[in-house]
């Protein structure tokens, strides 16, 4: 059995081998270089920054899984390798442009700020062939290109080390200056804190005068202020969950006092 790349990237081949051994059939495998590792090197990207890989199928519904794989990789600054569906028997290879446009389309439903036409991506085509090509750029630039014959692989880059940006320019063809995709994809916790910290602070300032001189309520107001400050500190420390808990708690303290005086809650 002869296959492209490293045979055991395809779980079917592992299954075949496991069953063969179970039935006492002798097996021997010769591994080949896989496009998964060689492609990353050919693009000049750092392999230790590659997160979980994903496969893009032509059926649109299936794009939410790769979308969230990219999301989870990108918030950690990791690169995502996207394998594209192919069926050699039917001579079908998914076009990298269709994969990218499908992801941009998926963004419209999921709205996590993961991917849009300004996202930087790499299309690695025919890696290892004489006519190998590595083309990178914003999706808006890539969608105008013809990448030629398959096989193609797409990489959505995460945070780029300067040696990676340099290598992309020298080893391949950059249509645009490489940019950091992780900049615009903020963690949900950071998005929340950006909204809630000023909102709770304002709600607190508005209600404070209504409790002047009432000692037992002063303690509540002071606690609210302290928890807002704690929330900011926890976020800085990377303790996102505790930060959210703290700002939620501060908001609850403030809103209880607002509701008691007939004010609208701010949640």
Nearer to a copy of itself among residue 78 and residue 157 (C-beta)? 78
Of 117, 141, 223, 229, the residue at the interface with a copy of itself (CB under 8 A) is 223
Upper half-sphere CA count for residue 43 (Cβ side, 13 Å): 34
- Name residues contacting a copy of itself, limited to 52-111 (CB under 8 A): 52-55, 72, 76, 78
Site mask, a copy of itself, residues 181-210, x = CB under 8 A? -------xx--x---x--------------
Nearer to a copy of itself among residue 60 and residue 188 (C-beta)? 188
Nearer to a copy of itself among residue 184 and residue 266 (C-beta)? 266
As a whole number of angstroms, the distance between CA 157 and CA 126 comes to 19
Burial 94-108 (b: 16+ CB within 10 A, else e): bebbebbebbbebbe
CA distances from 185 to 50, 55, 86 (A): 17, 21, 30
| Number of residues in contact with a copy of itself under rule CB under 8 A | 75
Q: How far is the CB of 60 from a copy of itself (least distance, A)?
A: 20
Q: Is 42 in the site for a copy of itself (CB under 8 A)?
A: yes
- Name residues contacting a copy of itself, limited to 139-168 (CB under 8 A): 163, 166-167
Nearer to a copy of itself among residue 43 and residue 139 (C-beta)? 43
Of 4, 25, 47, 206, the residue at the interface with a copy of itself (CB under 8 A) is 47
Nearer to a copy of itself among residue 125 and residue 139 (C-beta)? 125
- Name residues contacting a copy of itself, limited to 236-265 (CB under 8 A): 240-241, 244-257, 259-260, 262, 265
Nearer to a copy of itself among residue 60 and residue 219 (C-beta)? 219
């Amino acid at each position: 059995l002869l296959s492209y790349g490293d045979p055991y990237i395809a779980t079917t081949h592992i299954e075949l081998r496991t069953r063969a051994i179970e039935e006492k059939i002798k097996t021997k495998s010769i591994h080949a270089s896989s496009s998964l590792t060689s492609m990353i090197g050919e693009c000049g990207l750092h392999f230790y920054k590659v997160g979980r890989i994903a496969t893009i199928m032509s059926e649109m519904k299936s794009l939410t899984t790769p979308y969230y794989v990219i999301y989870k990789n990108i918030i950690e600054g990791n690169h995502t390798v996207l394998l594209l569906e192919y069926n050699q028997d039917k001579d079908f290879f998914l076009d990298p442009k269709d994969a990218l446009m499908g992801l941009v389309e998926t963004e419209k439903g999921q709205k996590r700020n993961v991917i849009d036409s300004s996202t930087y991506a790499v299309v690695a085509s025919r890696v290892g062939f004489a006519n190998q090509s590595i083309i990178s750029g914003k999706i808006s630039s890539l969608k105008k290109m013809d990448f030629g014959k398959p096989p193609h692989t797409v990489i959505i880059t995460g945070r780029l080390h300067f040696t990676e940006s340099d290598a992309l320019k020298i080893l391949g063809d950059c249509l645009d200056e490489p940019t950091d995709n992780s900049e615009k994809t903020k963690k949900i916790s950071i998005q929340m804190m950006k909204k809630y910290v000023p909102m709770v602070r304002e709600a607190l300032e508005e209600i404070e005068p209504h409790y002047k001189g009432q000692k037992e309520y002063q303690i509540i107001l002071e606690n609210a202020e302290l928890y807002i400050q704690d929330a900011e500190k926890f976020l800085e420390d990377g303790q996102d969950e505790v930060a959210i808990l703290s700002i939620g708690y501060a908001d609850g303290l403030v809103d209880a006092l607002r509701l008691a005086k007939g004010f609208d809650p701010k949640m």
